[in-house]
Amino acid sequence: MEQFFNTYFDFGIMGDYFGDVLNGFWWTIRLSVFGGVLALIWGLILSVLRQLPGRLLSPIRILAIAYIDALRGIPMLLTLLLIAGGLGTLASQDAIPKEIGIPNWLGYPDPFWYGVMALTLTYGAYMAEVYRAGIEAVPRGQMEAARSLGMSHGQAMRYVIVPQAVRKVIPPLLNDFIALMKDTSLVSVLGFVEVVQVGQDVYSETFNPSALTLGAIMFLVFTIPLARLTDWLIKRQESKFERGIP
Amino acid sequence: MTETILKVSDLKKSYGDLHVLAGIDFELNKGEVVCVIGPSGSGKSTLLRCLNMLELPDAGRIELHGNEIYGGGKPKDLDVLRREVGMVFQQFNLFPHMSAKGNVTIAQDKVRNRKKKDCDARSIELLSEVGLADKIDEYPDRMSGGQQQRVAIARALAMDPEVMLFDEVTSALDPELVKGVLDVMRNLAESGMTMACVTHEMGFAREVGDRVIFMDGGVVVEQGDPDQVLGNPQEKRTKEFLGLVLSH
Ligand SMILES: Nc1ncnc2c1ncn2[C@@H]1O[C@H](COP(=O)(O)OP(=O)(O)OP(=O)(O)O)[C@@H](O)[C@H]1O
Ligand SMILES: [Mg+2]
């Protein structure tokens, strides 16, 4: 028992490396925020594309659906390696500009941006499905009532459907965000020193995983309240809003 | 001289092999109240929904004030049509995220582009007319079905439509709430509104209706004066249907 405790909770190591772990976690936060916000936007674009009406636009619709299915079906680790390997190689062969192939935007290193891209592409696909489900969960009669009052499709979406859908999508979007936050750890395979990589580095120095434990605790400080908030929102919705919708 | 507001000719609509409307002809004159009756699945809702293009017919012709708005292809002047034709649904379909006043106001504001002050005044006036002066700021989930349905009627009236379509608007209500809604419809009829009501309320059809249409199998089987169609039907199918309904 004591051995177990000393292995995972070596407070000496935790104290010595606290600053490094926190630095790593700060990168984790930045990856999450950039990836999360961009995925939110990309997902919205995808969900609009896949719901475009009419026969003329069906190729776009099919492409959007194929994209969503593909990105949800590939492990994000693979997507990340494909992006990093592909863009890096193309840039070194001058097939694409270096600023894009080996991005250094805002002074952040290229693995950071490869990570943000992978998170955006993957979680955009998940979030597109959440948006769609939210809109489909609004009863059909709502659209009909709005149209029968003379509203255009766009007006009906804006004033009637989306305001109701938003309430329904916030909890599942939060769930996706929690998952996204955890998946930022995959960027460590590119040698990027986010919190997991810091923990690993400390481990190879000290042969003790306590810095990893510290990283895990930092994750929990964020993910547990987010999960509680999600549950609370779902509960509140069930008791308040659902009752009124026939 | 009667003024025809809606004229429907040979209207057809199928879902796959199911011919829900197999050639409907009917007219709605100004100030007239037409009650549509018929067995479940006979196409009554589909007919109403085609009249304001919530459902696109397959063939036929619909005229509003003599202007063709549907002639077999794409509907024309859909905006005009939807503004002139109000609809009330069996399931109310109130917007749950808006108060009673919000429900009545939103289309006045966004579709009719009325000034905020005028919208509010009109909403309050209409909600008072349907007996809900004290529920103006209430949300739908805190109102009874009968109250919700009366808000829905006020919401449709707020667009100042020339025709109102009612699709079994009392069928989802508890029996004691039916009367309040029917009273509102009766007042509306007396005020001269042109109305087409799909209904199972034979008493209402007889008392308020100027004409009754009996539909079965996607066609109009019999129509005429309510006392005549309901009291002394000529067609076998009408007799059978009324026999079933009235024996309850
Ligand atoms: N969107 C649809 N797709 C396929 N079939 C449909 C659709 N809408 C209606 N139908 C079918 O068309 C037929 C007529 O439906 P409709 O709702 O017009 O009947 P109704 O006379 O209003 O019946 P009720 O009295 O039960 O309301 C039914 O058999 C129904 O199942
Ligand atoms: Mg019906």
pLDDT band at A236 (very low <50, low <70, confident <90, very high): confident
C-alpha distances in Å from residue A23, one per residue of A128, A166, A241: 32, 35, 42
Structural element, H or E, at residue B68? strand B67-70
Distance from chain centroid for Cα B124: 23
Q: Enumerate the H helices of A58-149 as residue ranges.
A: 58-73, 76-92, 98-101, 110-136, 140-148
pLDDT band at A244 (very low <50, low <70, confident <90, very high): very low
Sheet holding B59-64, edge to edge: B18-29, B4-15, B59-64, B67-70
Q: What pLDDT was estimated at residue B98? A: 96
- Measure the CA–CA gap between B217 and B20, rounded to whole angstroms: 7
The string of pLDDT tens digits covering residues B97-110 is 999 999 999 999 99
Q: What pLDDT was estimated at residue A166? A: 86
Atom of ligand 1 nearest to the CA of B168: 27
Give the residue extent of every domain in chain A. Answer: 2-243
Left (φ > 0), alpha (ψ -120 to 50) or beta: where does B10 sit? Answer: left
Chain A residues 146-205 within an 8 A CB cutoff of chain B: 146-152, 155, 159-160, 163-164, 167
Look at residue A243 and tell me whether its pLDDT is greater than 50: no
Structural element, H or E, at residue B8? strand B4-15
Centre a 10 Å sphere on the Cβ of residue B187 and count the other Cβ atoms it contains.
Answer: 13
Residue A14 exposure: Cα atoms within 13 Å on the Cβ side:
15
pLDDT band at B240 (very low <50, low <70, confident <90, very high): very high
Q: What pLDDT was estimated at residue B248? A: 62
Atom of ligand 1 nearest to the CA of B44: 21
Q: Please enumerate in sequence order all residues whose Cβ is within 8 A of that of A45, keeping only pairs 6 or more positions apart, or say none.
A: A124
Q: What pLDDT was estimated at residue A151? A: 93
- Measure the CA–CA gap between B76 and A193, rounded to whole angstroms: 62
Look at residue A242 and tell me whether its pLDDT is greater than 60: no
Tokens representing residue B189 in the block? 């009829």
Atom of ligand 1 nearest to the CA of B46: 18
- By mean pLDDT, which of A51-55, A67-71, B56-60 is the weakest? A51-55
A160/chain B closest Cα distance in angstroms: 7
Share of chain B above pLDDT 90, in %: 89
Closest CA to B94 of A1, A146, A43, A224: A146
Q: Please enumerate in sequence order all residues whose Cβ is within 8 A of that of B170, keeping only pairs 6 or more positions apart, or say none.
A: B149, B177, B178, B181, B182, B199, B201
Contact residues, chain A, for B79 at CB < 8 Å: 150, 152
Contact residues, chain A, for B106 at CB < 8 Å: 149, 159-160
- B98, B148 contact by CB (below 8 A): no
Q: Does B122 touch chain A (CB under 8 A)?
A: no
Q: What residues are in contact with ligand 1 under a 6 Å CB criterion?
A: B 15, 18, 20, 38, 40-46
Q: Do the Cβ atoms of B54 and A147 come within 8 Å? A: yes
pLDDT band at A240 (very low <50, low <70, confident <90, very high): low
pLDDT band at B2 (very low <50, low <70, confident <90, very high): confident
Look at residue A246 and tell me whether its pLDDT is greater than 50: no
The string of pLDDT tens digits covering residues B174-228 is 999 999 999 999 999 999 999 999 999 999 999 999 999 999 999 999 999 999 9
Q: Enumerate the H helices of chain B as residue ranges.
A: 44-51, 78-84, 100-110, 116-129, 145-157, 175-190, 202-208, 226-231, 236-246
Look at residue B13 and tell me whether its pLDDT is greater than 90: yes
The string of pLDDT tens digits covering residues A195-225 is 999 999 999 999 999 999 999 999 999 999 9
Q: Record the pTM.
A: 0.83
Share of chain A above pLDDT 70, in %: 97
Closest CA to A215 of A189, A195, A193: A195
Rounded to the nearest integer, the mean pLDDT of chain A is 92
* Amino acid, single-letter form, for residue B168: E
Mean per-residue pLDDT for A11-35?
A: 96
- Measure the CA–CA gap between B198 and B161, rounded to whole angstroms: 18
Q: Does A246 touch chain B (CB under 8 A)?
A: yes
Q: What pLDDT was estimated at residue A107? A: 87
Look at residue A110 and tell me whether its pLDDT is greater than 80: yes
- Closest-CA residue of A relative to B50 is A148
Look at residue A153 and tell me whether its pLDDT is greater than 90: no
Backbone angles phi, psi at A116, to 5 degrees: -60, -40
Q: What pLDDT was estimated at residue A245? A: 42
- By mean pLDDT, which of A25-29, A100-104, B207-211 is the weakest? A100-104
Whose tokens are 């008493």? That residue is B203
Mutate to test the pocket of ligand 1, among B12, B24, B36, B44 (most ligand atoms within 8 A of CB): B44
Query: Which is more confident, B46 or B2?
Result: B46
- Closest-CA residue of A relative to B107 is A149
The string of pLDDT tens digits covering residues B137-185 is 999 999 999 999 999 999 999 999 999 999 999 999 999 999 999 999 9
Query: Which residue of A144, A148, A242 is the best one to mutate when testing the B interface, meaning the one whose CB has the most B CBs within 10 A?
Result: A148
Share of chain B above pLDDT 70, in %: 99
The string of pLDDT tens digits covering residues A74-83 is 999 999 999 9
- Closest-CA residue of B relative to A146 is B107
Four-way CATH pick for A2-243: 1.10.3720.10, 3.40.50.2300, 3.40.50.170, 1.10.1040.10: 1.10.3720.10
Residue B16 exposure: Cα atoms within 13 Å on the Cβ side:
0
Centre a 10 Å sphere on the Cβ of residue B179 and count the other Cβ atoms it contains.
Answer: 14
Dihedral angle over CA of B28, B33, B34, B37, nearest 10 = 160
Instruction: Identify which of A44-53, A140-149, B77-86 has the greatest average pLDDT.
Output: A140-149
Contact residues, chain B, for A159 at CB < 8 Å: 106, 110
- Closest-CA residue of A relative to B53 is A148
- B22, B217 contact by CB (below 8 A): yes
Tokens representing residue A188 in the block? 């460590």
Centre a 10 Å sphere on the Cβ of residue A139 and count the other Cβ atoms it contains.
Answer: 16
pLDDT band at A241 (very low <50, low <70, confident <90, very high): low
B131-160 in b/e form (b: 16+ CB < 10 A) is bbeebbebbbeebebbbbbbbbbbbbbbbe
Structural element, H or E, at residue B13? strand B4-15
